[in-house]
Amino acid sequence: MPNSLLIEHNRQQFPKSVVRLAPGIWSAIGFAASNMHLVEGQSSVTIIDTTESTKAAENVQAAFLKRTSKPVGRIIYTHSHRDHISGARVFAPDNDIPIIASATFNSDLVQIDQDAIAPNRALGLRTQAQFGFGLSHEERVSLGCGPGDRPMEGLGAGFLEPTERIVADCEIDLDGVTARLILAPGETADHMLVWLPEQQVLFSGDNWYHAFPNLYAIRGTPYRDFKAWADSLDLMAGIGAEVLAPGHTLPVTGKDRIYEVLTTTRDAILYVMEYTADGMDRGMSMNDIAASITLPDELADKPWLGEYYGKIGWSARAYAAGTLGWYDGNPTQLGTMSDADRATQLATLAGGTAALFKAAQATQDLQWRLELCDHLIALGEPAEGMKAEALVALAETEINATARNTYLWEAKRLRGDGEGKG
Return the range that interacts with Zn ion (CB under 5 A); candidates 114-122, 203-211, 344-352, 371-379: 203-211
> According to CB under 5 A, which residues from 81 to 140 bind Zn ion?
81, 83
Among 10, 13, 34, 78, binds Zn ion (CB under 5 A): 34
190 is an interface residue for Zn ion by CB under 5 A: no
Closest approach, Cβ 345 to Zn ion, in A, equals 44
Closer by beta carbon to Zn ion, 3 or else 34 = 34
Closest approach, Cβ 124 to Zn ion, in A, equals 18
**What angle (nearest 5°) sits at the alpha carbon of residue 158, between those of residues 95 and 46?**
60
Closest approach, Cβ 247 to Zn ion, in A, equals 5
| Helix (H), strand (E) counts: the chain | 16, 13
Which amino acid appears at position 118 of this protein? Answer: A
Going residue by residue from 239 to 268, which x/- string records binding to Zn ion, judged by CB under 5 A? --------x---------------------
Closest approach, Cβ 25 to Zn ion, in A, equals 20
Closest approach, Cβ 131 to Zn ion, in A, equals 11
Closer by beta carbon to Zn ion, 34 or else 102 = 34
Closest approach, Cβ 162 to Zn ion, in A, equals 17
Number of residues that bind Zn ion (CB under 5 A): 5
Return the range that interacts with Zn ion (CB under 5 A); candidates 53-61, 178-186, 206-214, 286-294: 206-214
Q: How far from 80 is each of 157, 187, 310, 324, CA to CA, in Å? A: 14, 10, 19, 27
| Residue 336: CB atoms within 10 Å | 6
Position of minimal CB gap to Zn ion = 206
Return the range that interacts with Zn ion (CB under 5 A); candidates 3-11, 74-82, 148-156, 342-350: 74-82
Closer by beta carbon to Zn ion, 247 or else 310 = 247
CA dist 412 and 388 (Å) reads: 7
Closer by beta carbon to Zn ion, 190 or else 206 = 206
How far the first Cα of the chain sits from its last, in Å, is: 29
Among 52, 58, 190, 206, binds Zn ion (CB under 5 A): 206
β-strand pairing of 25-29 with 45-48: unpaired
CB 214 within 8 A of CB 252: no
Starting at the earlier edge strand, list the strands of the sheet with 25-29: 17-22, 25-29, 36-40, 45-48, 72-76, 99-102, 164-166
Query: Residue 100: which of 49, 135, 150 has the closest Cα?
Result: 49
β-strand pairing of 243-246 with 201-205: parallel
Query: Residue 407: which of 365, 356, 366 has the closest Cα?
Result: 366
Closest approach, Cβ 376 to Zn ion, in A, equals 38
CA dist 214 and 249 (Å) reads: 14
Closest approach, Cβ 145 to Zn ion, in A, equals 6
Interface residues with Zn ion (CB under 5 A) are 34, 81, 83, 206, 247
